[in-house]
Structure 1
Amino acid sequence: MSILSSLLGVLFVLNLVLAGAIIFLERKDAGATWAWLMVLFFIPLLGFILYLIFGQNLTRKRLFDWEDMKKIGIEDLIQKQINSLKEHRFPFKNETASRYQDLIYMHLINNEALLTQDNEVQLFTHGEDKFESLLKDMDAAQDHIHIQYYIFKKDHLGKRILEKLTEKAKQGVKIRVLYDEMGSRRTRRRFFKELLAAGGEVAVFFPSKIPFINLRLNYRNHRKLVIIDGKVGYVGGFNIGDEYLGLNPKFGYWRDTHLRIIGSSTLAMQTRFILDWNQASRSKKIAYDLRYFPQPSFTGHAGVQIVTCGPDSEWEQIKNGYIKMISSAKRSIYIQTPYFIPDVSLLDSLRIAALTGVDVRIMIPNKPDHLFVYWATYSYIGELLKAGVKIYIYDNGFIHAKTIVVDETISSVGTANIDVRSFRLNFEVNAFLYDQTISESLSAVFRKDMEKSRELTMEEYDERPLKIKLKESISRLLSPIL
């Protein structure tokens, strides 16, 4: 008994030391700190091992560095835009962008997100349309294809994309494929052997250094980017896999949102890809070359900022962009997201918007792909229902779109969900769009999706069973670390 008591005493003291390390050294958000302290309390010692895997702080680490970036001239362009905005002499090409100078300025200061105003933007909501367009653009590639996905599956669609990439590699087009190890955990490097044999290159983001153990398991690259010849870019919610074509019986029809962009914003997307590639592929880094940053004359009129965020950053750039958009709303806010776990700042901004008479509508799936996240989502939407927010449950399969539209004037489409994981743990990328035509199209898509959704009422929410309320409460406690 004395030995057992001593062991328990040592374990208790060790747990206190570990808890102190979490509180005083990491300086995390209070909600996340309490969640981890609960884990330590209920699972002593093992909880700290979980913390090392899931909770380490990356904000003090410089993960992405590219010395050649100075050769592109982006830093000078960013500074010129900042100065011209400060002096109220920025040459806006459309009224929409001019009305949201403060949001544009914030992204410049906070994320070095250059505003480009010569973009043509095409909207995709069906997987078949998106991938047919992507395959067509890849077929037309002359110089390079840079492709980055969180999930790259080795199923029918994955093989079809890979066959096209291999074909282009054999034609002399430079192919680089970057995927996330966790998202594509069932995909092995041998899947790409024919592409590699043809001269293509493949890199994996945050791979396991020890088999079956990944100390960066909780920090994943959730970005989806394709850049073709530095002229055409794709960004949005679709990954590569048959379920994104609606072929998975569990989810049924897959509703997502993706963008095809022709314009100078592709150069910002290219820079992001190269930064991610050089972090993942230490031995085959990309050096600056004009071939990756061509200067053709684009004829579009849409204003676009490519904004990124990740756990390596002190700021939550995309979340800040969402909050700024919400606070600027005068008439309407339409949000589509598969996961809705906002922090206090975002929750308050939505609640305040609704209480001031703004028509706030949020659309979420009717089925979970992550149970804890699903029930945590339901706990938060209850608070918004009380403030007058309209909640729609999408019943036509699974909605995976990550979009927000304000006043049918400005919008954002990308990879970031409205949850703590996207804002603080994952590496994400969104296109902030200053174009009324695009925003009106996204609003029309939302209203069309409403026809295949049901509105969740306050009465229905209040009548949910006790077991559902318990699931929500437990999930909400864990929401800061989900």
Structure 2
Amino acid sequence: MSLVLEIIGLILLINTIAAIITVFRQPRNIAATWAWFLVLVFIPVLGFFIYAFFGRRLPKNRMLLLSGSTKKQVSSLINKQKRQLGKFTADQTPNYQILNRAQGQIEMFMNTATAPLLGNNEVDVYTKGTDFVNQLFTDFKNARSSINIEFYTFYADNIGHQTLDLLTEKAKQGVDVRVIYDAWGSMGTNEKFFRPLIEAGGHAYPFLHNRFNLIDMRVNFRDHHKIVTIDGEYGYIGGMNIGDQYLGRKKKFGNWYDCMMRVHGQGVQGLQSRFILDWNATDQQDKIDPNAADAIAKYYPEVKTDGHAAMQIVASDPISSMEQIKMGYIKLIGMAQRSVKIMTPYLIPDESVLDALKIAVKSGVDITIITPDMPDHPFVYRATQYYTEQLTKLGIKVYAYNNGFLHAKTMVIDDELVSIGSANLDYRSFELNFECNAFVYDKDLANRMEAIYQDAILESTLQTKQIFAQESWWLNFKQHFSRLLSPLL
């Protein structure tokens, strides 16, 4: 028996030493570091298998593939805009007051996210999947030269097959069709599903794919983008993917409430650049040179509209330590003078975002957050409930959406500044996923978003101290336990 205990003790000692070496040898968020350390120590041996799939960083040589000529293409434009940043005037844009107010944020995104200010955009917003898909299919049918698609989820279900059939038809017509999908988020979808499109001359690849995916087991870094561009003139960004559930056709979720923005104008250039960046990292054989004359003509045509919305397309990823979208959220909250409105399916803010919210609400800013009233991930949902209670105690109004599942990721500041994109208010979106948001400077869009928030509140329940007081001890335990896992969720 003593020999067995000695062996167990030796294993635990070796396991602890290995855990220290594993989690502390690479820089990462301190909360995530200690969370992984606890996993490795309290789940001996097995914890290292979990870490192999969910905890390792992407290899640096693969990271470098995501930089290059695409970023260089906009650097001169950004440098020119920096020199011109000054006082916007009424004859330049009806949104001159908003742009003047947001100059600090605009320059921050230029410096950290290589994001130029792109103006003259017409924008439309869709909260129902059917409306989004109907317009998307119309734009597909009218496509003349190119269709670029990048979705976290592209399911091989009814709407997935309809989308594939339409893309295949366009490829046969000579339209350049390219699809990037996340292998984890599109579970069940593979090359066989896309074969008709490929045989028609189109292209489809899982993000950062390689032939040795079973060896390269990092599943924690997901391509969470929802980006579409058509002919370099029209684009989409937001929270919706391709799948029946996003149209409210899954009994598990029922009605699906989301937010997708259609862009017509210069803003599409930002979406196009992000797609090309990801495409060149994914497909090593058929790269796009964004500086070539034919690529500029196809992907970056001159687009003239009557729109006035200005925007920056901001991406963040595990490559950079800047956490650009999180910085944008914090900057927006800090700029708020009257109100902050947030929609997020996952409310798991880190300390910096929590502090920004605390400062704002204690400064007299009215803060409203809308989250789902049903889970799609149990631990994430319980952690969201934990933070809902904490924020409610601070005086922040948090609503639980009752009419199905709320999946929108939006923020509106003082009915002037808007963010719409793929990034949730959680650790995963800030540190682990490849995310993309549009930060829009437009009073008209902000007014439309205000109406969307009011409609959602009518179908939501305000969370109160009385509701939390009635929760069982077991539910309370699950919430507190899930909160400990926040950096890993």
TM-score range, shorter chain: over 0.9
Does 2:386 match 1:373?
A: no
Structure 2 CA distance, aligned partners of 1:4 and 1:298?
76
Query: 2:203: which partner in 1?
Result: 201
| 1:457 partner amino acid | T
Shift of 1:8: 2.3
The aligned residue for residue 13 of structure 2 is 13
1:49 aligns with 2:49: yes
SS at match of 1:152: coil
Say if 1:220 and 1:425, in contact at 8 Å, map to a contact too: yes
Change (3 A) 1:371 1:265: same
Deviation at 1:206, TM superposition (A): 3.7
Partner of 1:285: 287
Q: Can you list the C-alpha shifts for 1:81-126, whole angstroms capped at 9, x where unaligned?
A: 22333xx356763221121111111111111111111111111111
Instruction: Tell me the percent identity.
Output: 43
**Structure 2 gap segments, 5+ residues each:** none
Alignment of 1:386 with 2:393, yes or no, is yes
Is 2:451 aligned against 1:444?
A: yes
- Aligned pair 1:331/2:333, yes or no? no
Structure 1 partner of 2:472: 465
Deviation at 1:23, TM superposition (A): 4.8
The separation in 1 between residues aligned to 2:214 and 2:289, in whole angstroms, is: 33
Alpha-carbon offset, residue 298 of structure 1: 3.4
Matched residue of 1:76: which SS?
helix
Aligned partner of 1:456 in structure 2 is: 463
Distance 1:341 1:71, change over 3 A: closer
2:285 equivalent to 1:315: no
RMSD of aligned C-alpha atoms? 1.8
Residue of structure 2 in register with 1:229 after alignment = 231
- Find 1:399's aligned residue among 403, 406, 430: 406
Q: What do residues 156-192 of structure 1 show as CA deviations (whole Å, max 9, x unaligned)?
A: 1111111110111110001101100000111121111
- Aligned residue for 2:485, secondary structure, equals helix
Deviates more, 1:350-359 or 1:327-336: 350-359
Q: 1:345 aligns with which of 328, 343, 352?
A: 352
Equivalent pair of 1:81/1:90 in contact (CA under 8 Å): no
- Alpha-carbon deviation of 1:464? 1.1
Aligned to 1:117, the other structure's residue is in SS state strand
Q: Check conservation: 1:252, 1:397, Cα contact below 8 A.
A: yes
1:211 and 1:219, CA in 2 relative to 1: closer, same or farther beyond 3 A? closer
Query: Which residues in structure 2 correspond to 1:55-134 (within 5 Å)?
Result: 55-58=55-58, 62-65=63-66, 67-69=68-70, 72=73, 74-85=74-85, 88=86, 93=93, 94=95, 95-134=97-136
| In structure 2, distance between residues paired with 1:19 and 1:198 | 50
Count of residues in correspondence between the two structures: 479
1:481 maps onto 2:485 in alignment = no
TM-score by length of 2: 0.94
**SS where residue 272 of structure 2 aligns?**
helix
Further displaced range: 260-269 or 19-28: 19-28
CA contact (8 A) 2:16 2:41 kept: no
The answer to whether the Cα contact below 8 Å between 1:59 and 1:312 also exists between their aligned partners in 2 is no
Contact 1:59 1:311 in 2 (8 A): no
d(CA) in 2 for partners of 1:211, 1:70 = 28
Return closer, same or farther for 1:206/1:50 CA change in 2, 3 Å cut-off: farther
TM-score by length of 1: 0.96
Q: Which residue of 2 aligns with 1:158?
A: 160
Flag the 1:409–1:474 CA change in 2: closer, same or farther, 3 A.
same
The aligned residue for residue 429 of structure 2 is 422
Runs of 4+ that moved beyond 6 A? none
> Aligned equivalents of 1:242 and 1:139: distance in 2?
20
Q: Which amino acid aligns with 1:362?
A: I
1:60 deviation in Å? 5.0
1:183 corresponds to which letter in structure 2? Answer: G
Q: Counterpart of 2:441 in structure 1: which amino acid?
A: Y
For 1:411, what is the secondary structure of its paired residue?
Answer: strand
Q: Is the 8 A contact 2:24 2:33 kept in 1?
A: no
Give the corresponding residue for 1:25.
Answer: 25
Distance 1:64 1:210 in 2: 17
C-alpha change, 1:336 and 1:157, in structure 2 (3 Å) is same
Asked if 1:410 corresponds to 2:420, the answer is: no
What CA deviation, in whole Å up to 9, does each residue of 1:374-415 have, x standing for no partner?
A: 000111111111111111110111100000101111010000
Residue 23 to residue 247, structure 1, CA distance change in 2 (3 Å):
closer
Kindly state the Cα deviation for residue 233 of structure 1 after the two structures are TM-superposed. 0.5
User: For residues 434 and 453 of structure 1, what CA distance do their matches in structure 2 show?
Assistant: 28
Q: 1:475 to 1:281 in 2, by over 3 A?
A: same
Match of 2:442 among 422, 432, 435: 435
- Alignment gaps of 5+ in structure 1: none
What is the CA–CA distance in structure 1 between the aligned matches of 2:401 and 2:210, rounded to whole Å?
Answer: 37
Give the counterpart letter for 1:408 in structure 2: D
Q: Which moved more, 1:455-464 or 1:267-276?
A: 455-464
Would you say 1:239 and 2:246 are equivalent positions? no
Q: Which amino acid aligns with 2:45?
A: L
Gap change, CA 1:357 and 1:168, over 3 Å in 2: same
